[in-house]
Structure 1
Amino acid sequence: MRRRLVVVFLVPLVAILLSLGGATAWSATRSIQQAFYTEQLGDLGYFVTSARQALRSGSATVIDAEVARFHEVYGIDVIVFDLSGGVWSARDGGGEVLSEDDAARVGLALSGRRAEAPEPVFPWIAAESSLVEPVFDDGDVIGAVMLSADVEAPRTQILQQILVLTVVSIVSIGLGVLLVFQLARWVLSPVRRLDEAMIAIERGEMDARVAEDTGPPELRRMTRVFNGMADEIERVMTRQQEFALNASHELRNPLNALLLRVEHLSTGLGADWKDDVEETREEGRRMARILETLLGLARGGRADTMISAVDLTTLAARRADAWSEVASQRRVRMLSTGVGPVMSITDRTIVESALDAVIDNAVKFSPAESAVEVDAHRSGGLCVLTVRDHGPGLTREEAANAADRFWRSDDSGGVPGSGLGLAIATDLLESIGGELRVDTPDDGGLLVSLMLPDGAEG
């Protein structure tokens, strides 16, 4: 954005300065040339008068002395022609040969035509400037005078003017560039601070704000709107954290009481209840870990992950067994098809929570007398947990949106749900560097894959 703003300001400024500099240089050149031409006309008029007197008297002695003296002082050659076009008076006796242009001018002057103003030329084109004027006597042409001057002096003046204007233009453009950059910095400084504040908020610094007293009025209004939005986001996040803290804290006491009640009841049960009691204990401990994760998220905005080596085959089998009672109520079978250990260095609680969300979704949409298959295997350098159901499935377009929050298929019918299950699983996996993928097998149903980092096989 800064580059575009600089270009928008700088291009017109440079164009204007160059135009003004070019126009000024041309005007200065024409002024010097006109002054030089006027001075030539004055000298030419003087010699026309002297030549008339000399031609009348028939003696070139006086005018020869004037021509020689004029060249000695000013370096300008003067040649007087008689009516026949021959050289009548010159500094060197008229030995030089006239150019075609000069000869044509002399012929025009002897025919009675006066000299015309020379066309404007660039100072480095012509090396010499010549003017020819007819000499009249009682209305008749009796000769002509040609004055030839070296243009080195006016050329030097013109080049000096051009050099000065070039330096002034370069300095002006440099100052203009500096001014444009300062202007762009002043205009964009609030935008830069807004960008820095947004990055800070993204990092979790919810108190990041931008000063509202700098920059153009339009950007000040945008700054006020941003600060108001940041205040509202901070209030919402604070309320969410307070709710999560309160909810997780309030749930810990009933959960601890429930676990104590289980321990108390287990003392009066027979040995055949031992497995059920142990499963209940494990579910209670898992709920306690989930609550601790929730508390960590509420306190610091992130969970305190417990990374360890996890056998995904064993984890998948346990979660399938834990869901078997819920699935059986819908006449759905839970199958664990994993063979052999699949080790991953990951957070067990997060993986279990994500897998539960996917299994819950599969059980809800599976028809009666079908099965939900939970598997663990390696694929392409990753550890993969898959949940395969045989429900109505989704189209490929719907599968691409299945992990979006609150998305539900049009064919979900009266199945209860909020459309958050797969979205929550996706967020959980992303927090540990994993990924969730939804595929549509050719034989129907849905295949959801939880992609996790690989680990050493145990």
Structure 2
Amino acid sequence: MTRRIVLALLTLTVLVIAAAAVPLGFAITDREHLAFRDKAQAAARVIASSAEEHLSDREPTTAMDAALAEAAKAGDCAAVYDAGGRVAAATPCLVARSGEVADLVGETLTGREPEPPEKHGRLLAAEPVGSFRQPVGVVVLARSTDSLDTRITIAWAWIGLVAAAGVAASALVSVRLARWVGRPLTTLDTTARSLGEGRLGERAAVVGGPPEVRRLTATFNTMAARTEALIHGHRTVVADVSHQLRTPLAALRLRLDLLATAGPENAPELLASAQEEVARLSRLVDGLLAVARAEQAVPTPVAVHVDEVATDRVAVWEPLAQERGIHLTARCRPAPPAALGPDHLEQVLDNLLANALDAVPNGATITVDSCQVADRIRLRVVDDGPGMTSEAREKAFHRFGNPKARGSGLGLAIVHRLVTANGGGIRLEDTPGGGLTAVLDLPLFRDR
């Protein structure tokens, strides 16, 4: 990719520079030629004005000779021709009457303005003496084009130097640009290869490169982190399931072995114990399936009135609370609906209330309240039971995080997954005066 970027930018730069430099060079060349001709004709015109005094007015040749001397001093060769085409005066380097000079003199004497020829390293400029239509003579000036060629060569050299510098600068910039773009992509490719080989902790460094590449790298890192969490989560599930199922299976096997060798009088008791272990296994499997369904949930938010659902679930659990001598109440304020998946809030409250009812002693109080706090709906389940230590609260949302739980130890893990999947948050706090408070912050439902 680096090579392709460099070649593309260099090609574009060369084309742009060529399209600008070549016409500029020809324009400078034409301008230099035009300026050179104008200066040569101006010098011939000065000699012609001095020669007019001699050829028209028969004045002495003093002014004409002085003008010719100045031309010779400047390095030019000049000659003054009379109306008959004869040489009236000339510089030491006399312009010979070659065919080219003769043609210039003849055309100028007839009233035409010939184009100054430029051949053999010199420019010939012809100017009429006197009236343009009826000249009394002609001045022919020959000027070497060496200085012109030198200036044109220098101009083209500067243009070539600037073009070469532009190409070199473009090459440098293109290489740096290609590396700037390519280096994070190369790093990303290497990281993806490492990740594919099983090194799940590999991450691409989000440094340098265009914003799009940095966003791609950040997205890749997020994907890698989620993949790692998913794989580790699956490994943890397998380890947890293996650990949690081993104990009831061993107990069930022991009771079945005892049942096979026990007498008829002990059979009912052993059979009842085996049935209890089967029920425990069933609860454990049901809890694991619930966690798996919660982790795979991709909710489509709907409008859920938290106060109504909370009041309804409290009414459902109230008979069990009364049976255990527990005071269960709902104190929910009307508020805008929350954005939650269908039936998710019911599952969350059922798990929280079941945990609270199992944790608090007879005569305790459980209160469910809700209200709007800023752009969230806050739902709390408050009890005055024994509460939890800070270490237990940190692990409460993990699978089997509470080894002292009476149930499967999966209820809070299900609650945490359902709440976070809907964009909410949950935390456990101490209840003032003793007990545990589960605080849920749920997002508001917004019409799209």
TM-score by length of 1: 0.47
